[in-house]
Amino acid sequence: MISKTMENALNTQISLEGYASFLYLSMASWCDKEGLQGCAAFMHRQSDEERQHMLRIFHYISEVDGHALAPAIAQPPHSFESVHKLFEQVYAHEQKVTASINELLSLAYKDNDHTTLNFLQWYVTEQREEEALMRGILDRIKLIGDGPMSLYYIDKEMEKINKAELAAEAAESAA
């Protein structure tokens, strides 16, 4: 059984992960419209991942006899200034999620809630990986440049990164 405070905080995290899923879905759609198929595929996969992150917390709350709440999701933006700006937004959102996970950990420490502390470790690793991935993408965009002539190369690069992520996911679920 978790405390009511922890239950509320975890339900807030559900909203944040749900928003990330819808934000990335919206980004995928914008990329698609811009003809950036590699970026669109990447953002669709990220969106699916965020939904899984949301559900993982959802099921955890039920497992510890709490009440998981389906969140109200605010409408995300539909258009983005550039691919570079889009990935800057993704990185900023991931940093926000990391900060929120850290707050949950602090709360779990305060509550002496070892079950939730243990549960949250997965998110600590995930956020470290996600932030590193997004920073890597931003570095590559900086190297390639994001003028109209560079978009094709950025998109090809994103296609490659997405394939590598898919392969890593498949290896992880086969392990």
The burial class, CB within 10 Å (0-12 / 13-18 / 19+), for 142 is exposed
26: nearest Cα among 73, 89, 77, 82: 77
Q: Does 97 bind ligand OFO (CB under 6 A)?
A: yes
Judged by CB under 6 A, how many residues of this single chain contact ligand OFO?
9
Backbone angles phi, psi at 53, to 5 degrees: -60, -40
Q: How far is the C-alpha of 162 from the C-alpha of 88, rounded, in Å?
A: 18
Q: Does 7 bind ligand OFO (CB under 6 A)?
A: no
Which CB atom, from 26 or from 151, has the smaller least distance to ligand OFO? 26
Q: Does 165 bind ligand OFO (CB under 6 A)?
A: no
- By CB under 6 A, name the one of 2, 6, 36, 94 that touches ligand OFO: 94
| Tokens 């990220």, residue located | 46
- By CB under 6 A, name the one of 2, 40, 50, 161 that touches ligand OFO: 50
| Tokens 């595929």, residue located | 41
- By CB under 6 A, name the one of 2, 9, 10, 20 that touches ligand OFO: 20
Q: Does 44 bind ligand OFO (CB under 6 A)?
A: no
Q: Does 134 bind ligand OFO (CB under 6 A)?
A: no
Q: How far is the C-alpha of 84 from the C-alpha of 75, rounded, in Å?
A: 22
Residues forming contacts to ligand OFO in the complex (CB under 6 A) are 17, 20, 50, 53, 94, 97, 126-127, 130
